[in-house]
Structure 1
């Protein structure tokens, strides 16, 4: 049977042409339902030895450490309302997505505010399970104390490296072996990616591409967020082709086999205090040693009325997760000159220890990965999308040819 071009045929063909650049949305965390698809940790920080107790869901809400504000943004924060006496820990929040996202995923984080201050250690990251670091870890946002900018990192078992820095990576490669305590780290050189500068600019957006070709992380201050993100919504797909050069670009070719070192990832947001990065004397004391009489992170910060934690909170308009039905290319945009480049070489902490090297089991973390979203499955959540229409169309054509 002869097939003739129709409007539907052309629409399908057009869809396929853009497939390699578009991602299908599978989940948006936002508004009053933001917390519905997250699990609360409900234990002390036994991972990085921070001086916090991460509350369970009911306590986090009842104590006002997790809520949705009048602007419709989700907030998680450190307790700044109660006095803590030594040797008590201060209450905080850590949340983990119920969903797991496999290779072929893309995540976008819109932050109005990121926690900062002496002793403060926030992170937006992902973790494969059930045993660390076999499933891999991706640190998208992580900084401590008064660091002027973000630090990105991968944590894996032995054999994954970031030995080659792509010419379009805007950040500075600091550590190349992803199996070290610090992981293979990249320091952000663009201004206002963290701290008071981030807040003063109205926040910004982070994005991470989790792909077989590599792991790529972008950061944009509010004024520089790409139009494809600003114009997107909770049901639309997204095109990354005009996003420009990334802050960190971990290439897979010849350096790190992504599917070997990373299993499906759960997204995590947390805020801890002191611990084995923010609280290290060589990291804490040079910039925060005048915070109190002892020069010790816990004594001069965690203990007391908590008023010094007024800026220790995340405020989040949305987090969106996407998948693609195929290998999506990483943009190869030409790097640009960064005006007022951040000099991270003068600040202690970059490339430092961020997690102990002891194995962390599922029992210790309370994580129960439930792989749900794999490449192409976005169609079953939001609609058929390009991948779904392609599959339907191929099936229809085969059926017609058999008639």
Structure 2
């Protein structure tokens, strides 16, 4: 009884609710901006515009899902920069928010480098920061969540998260833009994720820090507000569980490193990460670029299939 009275006398932690501001399902993604410039990460890719993507069935939108994929039918002509693919970004930018992605399938396979990420709309990069929520290459099976920033943003090695710290310096000029990254649990990325029917990813950003969660499709602990896409969410760890990746603001001033971000989905190939010697080791013997150009049938699994993306803010009218 005394223990109960003591517990009741301790003030509850104040976790704030967020209200649904924007929902993107199926054809809603056709209103996003389609990038068809050169790849900043030097990939063997040819990003196509919306008309080309739709006409070639690289993008398919229905009432219930949105699919964007790489070409898996043609050899890449020598004159082209790489395999045809899609990169889209949201026209709106968001600051403090919670983003919840209901995802059925992510691109996988040797040569692939897909990402769901947010980046400063004002820029120029890395000013305003970059947040990578889903990212991996080639045969990876664990998702990498990371931040890339201007100088003087660091993380401690040990913090309250389920994932394993990979790097602690977020400064994009350090160690070839490695960023400060956290590995998630197995099958949070790649074939295991897809074979399990996908799942949900969530990212919260506020002045307290940036936090990421992952729940597999069959995970019985997924919060109902996440799985059902309810009109409000409250990322209280007592209900959502310990985040897979935590980036608190202890050694990284939030306001000076992060501003309003656009949301991006892309799929590139090879480039600075997937094509690097250390990442490509398990996929040889040809070079990554030659593999991507000459083996279209290896890219049948190189696609995103999105059930829904929901963005929650504390003032849905902004």
Q: TM-score scaled to structure 1, two decimals?
A: 0.71
- Which secondary structure does the structure 1 equivalent of 2:191 belong to? helix
SS of the equivalent of 1:259 reads helix
Tell me the residue number matched to 1:277: 273
Shift of 1:289: 1.1
Describe the SS at the equivalent of 1:218: strand
From 96, 104, 127, the counterpart of 1:112: 104
Per-residue CA deviation, residues 236-258 of structure 1 (Å, 9 max, x unaligned), is 112222110111100102x1111
User: Is the deviation greater in 113-122 or in 295-304?
Assistant: 295-304
CA-to-aligned-CA distance 1:342-376 (integer Å, 9 cap, x gap): xxxxxxxxxxxxxxxxxxxxxxxxxxxxxxxxxx2
The CA deviation at 1:165 is: 2.6
Q: Which of these two proteins has the greater Rg computed from alpha carbons?
A: 1
Structure with the larger strand share: 2
The equivalent of 2:195 in structure 1 is: 200
Aligned partners of 1:110 and 1:156: how far apart in 2? 27
- Which residue of the other structure, out of 240, 245, 254, is the alignment partner of 1:243? 240
| Contact 1:281 1:296 (8 Å CA) reproduced | no
Quick one: distance in 1 between partners of 2:101 and 2:28?
16
Q: Any conservation in 1 of the 2:15–2:235 contact (CA below 8 Å)? A: no
State which of 285, 309, 318 in structure 1 corresponds to 2:308: 318
Higher share in helix: 1
Instruction: Determine the structure 2 residue equivalent to 1:122.
Output: 114
Partner of 2:291: 300
The corresponding residue for 2:90 is 97
TM-fit CA distance, 1:57: 1.4
CA distance in 2, matches of 1:173, 1:164: 6
Query: Unpaired segments of 5 or more residues in structure 2?
Result: 1-11
Shift of 1:164: 4.5
2:105 aligns to what SS in structure 1?
coil
Q: CA deviation at 1:87?
A: 5.1
The equivalent position to 2:259 in structure 1, one of 244, 260, 263, is 263
Aligned to 1:67: 60
Deviation of residue 51 (structure 1)? Answer: 0.7
Equivalent position of 1:42 in the other structure: 36
Paired residues of 1:165 and 1:249 also in contact (CA < 8 A): no
TM-score (ref. length: structure 2): 0.89
Tell me whether 268-277 or 26-35 shows the greater mean CA deviation. 26-35
Aligned residues: 297
**Aligned residue number for residue 340 of structure 1:** none
Q: RMSD between aligned alpha carbons?
A: 1.8
Q: Distance in 1 between matches of 2:259 and 2:190?
A: 31
